[in-house]
Amino acid sequence: MTVALAEHADGVLVASIDRAAKGNALDTPTIDALGELAARLHENPSQTRVLIITGSGHRAFSAGADISTLRGLTADQARRQMTHGQDVFDRIEELPLVTVAALNGVALGGGLELAMACDLRTASRAARLGQPEITLANIPGWGGTQRLPRLIGRGRALQMILTGDPIDAEAALACGLVNAVGDDALAEALALASRITRHAPGAVAAAKDAVRTGELSGIQCGLRREAELVGQRCSSPEQREAVEAFLNRKKSSVRKADPS
């Protein structure tokens, strides 16, 4: 088994890449396991509200693609391998639930590309993030040239891609590549998940849907989808209950503040 699963409270599922001796490198069986997990969650997302992906051990989230699998590839073989990884990462990105990458160590090459396919990222203080493919006379092939500029801007992304230089966790936080930094990346991810799962599942899914629509189809499509989703939420029992609870709390606070 290359991906180990552990269930936590409130519908949080932790998937750990279980190849610590290899720096949690992403070989074909590991990519396949991640793809199978994403497929299962697409089919039955209701029991899982947040998926956290992390690496086993304390050294690496993932050191990237298993370089031994790249030796001697023909152009067509390499293209198929990259397309397969892209498809799996797309499936992770398209999940209706929230995904968080907990970067417990280095996240390089394909490892960073996997992390960027997640909605949110937390990092340990020891984490290092980078796209070093240029040092092997190549470029990122599992989405790095597309997702990195969207997350941190074209100039910063090109600097990382063209130099191959990694950045530390604090620099990643400063440029928006990660959302939180702490001593324990998984603990930070679980804390973030607990703040998300306290909110209505339908609202969380709708928010992700609206943001993704705008990213893929432009702001006008995103705005129309946003309005459509707000309409759907306003007719849902959980939204109506939340509005009533808010108004009742407001009335109660006004009564308490009235000295008469």
As a whole number of angstroms, the distance between CA 51 and CA 120 comes to: 10
Choose the catalytic residue: 93, 133, 188, 226: 133
CA distances from 36 to 23, 32, 72, 91 (A): 22, 6, 27, 10
CA angle 156, 161, 166 (to 5 degrees): 80
> Distance of alpha carbon 140 from its chain centroid, rounded?
18
Instruction: Using DSSP, state whether 16 is helix, strand or coil.
Output: strand
What tokens does 89 get? 């990462």
H helices of 62-184, in order, are 75-93, 110-117, 144-152, 154-163, 169-174
Q: Let me know if 113 is a catalytic residue.
A: yes
Choose the catalytic residue: 7, 36, 43, 113: 113
Q: Let me know if 238 is a catalytic residue.
A: no
**Are 119 and 51 within 8 A, CB to CB?**
no
Residue 167 phi, psi dihedral angles, 5° rounding: -120, 155
Active site residues: 113, 133
